[in-house]
Amino acid sequence: MKISVQAIGLTPHQPLEEFIDKKLSKLDTFYDKIIECKVTLRLENSHDKENKTAEVRVVIPGDDIVVKKTSTSFEESLDLCSEAAKKLLIKRKEKL
């Protein structure tokens, strides 16, 4: 599975990229037909502490799964995204 990261308004540091790889590579264990995961990190222009948004698009045959979460850190946002994507992939697998 290929993982691509796009960052808008920031430059992701190496530990964050490693965290992304670690979290999203686990999705393969729940659904083996994943083609690619596209991650978009965005720093929102707000004074709110919850201004770090992560969007994960899981490319699979048929419809893609898209999950978007915002929180106080990119790690937390990505953690929430990976959990939500995991649940959706399990549902998709059960339908087959």
The predicted structure's pLDDT at residue 50: 81
CATH of the domain at 29: 3.30.160.100
- CA distance linking residue 73 with residue 58, whole number of Å: 21
At position 81, the amino acid (one-letter code) is C
- CA distance linking residue 92 with residue 21, whole number of Å: 22
The predicted structure's pLDDT at residue 62: 87
The predicted structure's pLDDT at residue 46: 72
In 3D, which of 49, 14, 71, 15 has the Cα closest to residue 84? 71
Counting the structural domains of the chain, the total is 1
The predicted structure's pLDDT at residue 89: 94
CB atoms within 10 A of CB 34: 21
pLDDT tens digits, the chain, 96 residues: what are they?
A: 899 999 998 888 899 999 999 999 999 999 989 999 999 999 888 777 788 999 999 999 988 999 999 999 999 999 999 999 999 999 998 887
Rounded-to-10 torsion of CA 82, 87, 91, 96: 40
pTM: 0.90
Q: Which domain holds residue 53?
A: 2-95
